[in-house]
Amino acid sequence: MDPLLAGRVADLAHPDISARVLERTLRERRRRLARNIAVYGIISLAMILLAMAQRDAQTVQSAKKHAALLADALQAEFDAEGIHPLAFPKLDPGLKFLGDRYYFNGLYVKDLSASSRVGVCSQRQPVSVFLRSAGRYVVLFDGQRFQNSWLSEADFHRQARELGFDSLLAR
């Protein structure tokens, strides 16, 4: 008999062989279970982060759209009448809620003489987002054009006095 074959036959005949097979099978199952848990955990975390990023993008996009509507309405009044709008712009009935969400700086015309750009409207509350710093959209006026701009909350607080929003911070 071949000596290598004899060694295998001896191993197979070992009374402890079924315990070793069972042990190896359990070890493989534990390894597979741990790998599956890790893969499902990573995929779940990725899905949660994607959902949070999507929510942030939609929230910021909605705020941007509202600020753009305000800037466009103010620009239309300015172009049509040739004078600076001194009150919150007239909006469609479906957008009346913006009057509650935005602060209108009625003194922006006075501030324009001291600065090249002034804040006309600002969101009263910052936009809360998960994956980046909170901020708010503001409508700025440079003497000719009304435009919306995103300011992080830190930038907003830093620039509030020069933009004319210091009364908003006092509340």
Q: Give the pLDDT score at 45.
A: 97
Compute the average pLDDT of residues 32-44: 97
Task: Name the strand (E) or helix (H) holding 140.
Answer: strand 135-141
pTM: 0.75
Quote the percentage of the chain above a pLDDT of 70: 89
The bridge status of strand 102-104 relative to strand 146-152 is: unpaired
Q: Give the pLDDT score at 1.
A: 52
Task: Name the strand (E) or helix (H) holding 78.
Answer: helix 17-81
> Confidence class of residue 41 from pLDDT cuts 50, 70 and 90?
very high
Q: Measured in Å, how far apart are the chain's first and last C-alpha atoms?
A: 97
Does the pLDDT of residue 153 top 70, yes or no?
A: yes
User: How does the average pLDDT of the chain come out, rounded?
Assistant: 86
Q: Where are the domains of the chain?
A: 58-169
Q: Read off the amino acid at residue 168.
A: L
Q: Give the pLDDT score at 62.
A: 94
